[in-house]
Amino acid sequence: MRYYIVAGEASGDLHGSNLMKELKTQDSAAEFRFFGGDKMKAVGGTLVNHYRDTAFMGFVPVILNLRTILRNIKNCQQDVLAFNPDVLILIDYPGFNLKIAKFAFEKGLQVHYYISPKIWAWKESRIKQIKAYVHKMITILPFETDFYKKHNMEVDYVGNPLFDQISIFKETSEKIQSEKPIIALLPGSRKMELENMLPTMAKAAKLMEDDYDIYIGGTSDFTQEFYESFLDGLKVNFVFEETYKLLNSSKLAMVTSGTATLETAIFKVPQVIVYKGPPIVVALAKRFIKVDFIGLANLTVGREIVRELIQQDFTPENIQSELKKFETTEGAAIIDKDYNELLSMIGGEGASKKAARIIIESISK
């Protein structure tokens, strides 16, 4: 069968690649064409557009690149139509993908969504578009399933695909050899995140460098020199594109809100979640966001098992104070118990395999 997949950022590329592997296993005649990244390209098929050319986040970047975005949408629509897939699979990225969904649905194509957009947090009105143009929604977090059921939409919950990727990694058990315990700094994968988060993270790490080795988990989209420009002379080690190896080696972590917070929890590394943005943007977000937490671990469990330091609370002293709690026997035991609760709620391995089976069976009906 012919599969067209649209992923618009790094996490979508990861999940898309794992899904493609399972689709190939279950469908030996699978053909792929996709918007994605290097991980999807490595599986096989035709990469039409790299997510680096579509990943514009935030109001100002979107406005400045509006012509490019509109051109990418049009190109994607025309390419989907020319390929005429048995199914169009959309991965998160709603601003782009919901426009593709409407177009494909109106052209009579099967539209499946894998990795729900975060409409449970904001822009809940998008549920109308999803119900209108998406034939099947496949969810990876328990509270997402509850959200769609509240809106009378049938969904398939498959568990979280991060377990699959982490399980594959753990077969190697790679670790960083270090004289001191390691603190991992995961500042995010976007330029604005690095600019807003890394300087304060570095100041917090400076307070703890006598007892720990400091490692930054970086993306190859930026140079080491770019990262160093935010460190104010802090001595650090860099690990590029090997976040799992870093987490597998770490005692503690500072993590920018996002997928990495859940990955850190699955590795059972005590962490603090941080976020800082332009004050006016955050003020506006607070008016529209309908959830109590920003961390996926906290959202899943329904309470703050990992401390979230946002805006004015995001200070070097607060980060140090929270992380030092885990140096005590009591603090380490509490976070371990909470992580176990989280992992039992999310489920185990096999999400990508289940999702592939659901998609193939749906097409075959």
Residue 363 has pLDDT above 60, yes or no: yes
User: Sheet of 308-310: strands edge to edge?
Assistant: 237-240, 213-218, 182-186, 252-256, 271-275, 308-310
Segment among 18-27, 288-297, 298-307 with least mean pLDDT: 288-297
Residue 2 has pLDDT above 70, yes or no: yes
Give CA–CA dist 207/201, Å, rounded. 10
- Torsion sign over Cα 280, 281, 282, 283: positive
Tell me what pLDDT residue 124 has. Answer: 86
Tell me what pLDDT residue 156 has. Answer: 95
> What percentage of the chain reaches a pLDDT higher than 70?
92
Tell me what pLDDT residue 176 has. Answer: 96
- Give the tens place of pLDDT for each residue, 71-90: 889 999 999 999 999 999 99
Give CA–CA dist 154/145, Å, rounded. 9
The mean pLDDT of the chain is 91
- Give the tens place of pLDDT for each residue, 222-266: 999 999 999 998 999 999 999 999 999 999 999 998 889 999 999
Question: How would you classify the pairing of strands 87-91 and 2-7?
Answer: parallel
Instruction: Identify whether the C-beta of residue 29 lies closer than 8 Å to the C-beta of residue 1.
Output: yes
CA distances for 63 relative to 67, 70, 75, 128, 289, angstroms? 8, 11, 19, 25, 22
Residue with tokens 């670790």: 175
Q: What is this structure's pTM?
A: 0.84
> What percentage of the chain reaches a pLDDT higher than 90?
71
Q: Is 108 exposed, middle or buried (0-12, 13-18, 19+ CB in 10 A)?
A: exposed
Of the pLDDT bands very low, low, confident and very high (cuts 50, 70, 90), residue 291 is low
Of the pLDDT bands very low, low, confident and very high (cuts 50, 70, 90), residue 281 is low
Boundaries of every domain in the chain: 2-161+350-364, 170-346
Q: Which long-range contacts (CB under 8 A, 24 or more apart) does 47-55 make?
A: 48/75, 48/76, 48/79, 49/75, 49/76, 51/7, 51/8, 51/9, 51/10, 51/12, 51/13, 52/221, 54/8, 54/93, 54/96, 55/8, 55/9, 55/190
Task: Identify the residue with better confidence: 320 or 121.
Answer: 320
Of the pLDDT bands very low, low, confident and very high (cuts 50, 70, 90), residue 278 is confident
- Give the tens place of pLDDT for each residue, 13-50: 989 999 999 999 999 999 999 999 999 999 999 999 99
Of the pLDDT bands very low, low, confident and very high (cuts 50, 70, 90), residue 336 is very high
CA distances for 270 relative to 97, 252, 258, 292, 316, angstroms? 35, 5, 16, 21, 17
Tell me what pLDDT residue 11 has. Answer: 84
Of the pLDDT bands very low, low, confident and very high (cuts 50, 70, 90), residue 10 is confident
Give CA–CA dist 160/144, Å, rounded. 12
- Torsion sign over Cα 349, 251, 341, 320: negative
- Give the tens place of pLDDT for each residue, 168-177: 888 888 899 9
* Closest C-alpha among 349, 330, 341 to residue 160: 349
Q: 187: part of which helix (H) or strand (E)?
A: none
Give CA–CA dist 246/277, Å, rounded. 26
Give CA–CA dist 118/291, Å, rounded. 11
Domains 2-161+350-364 and 170-346 share a fold: yes
Tell me what pLDDT residue 289 has. Answer: 63
- Give the tens place of pLDDT for each residue, 243-252: 999 999 999 9
**CATH 3.40.50.2000 for the 170-346 domain, yes or no:** yes
Residue 54 has pLDDT above 70, yes or no: no
Architecture in CATH of 2-161+350-364: 3-Layer(aba) Sandwich (3.40)
On the CB side of 339, CA atoms within 13 Å amount to: 18
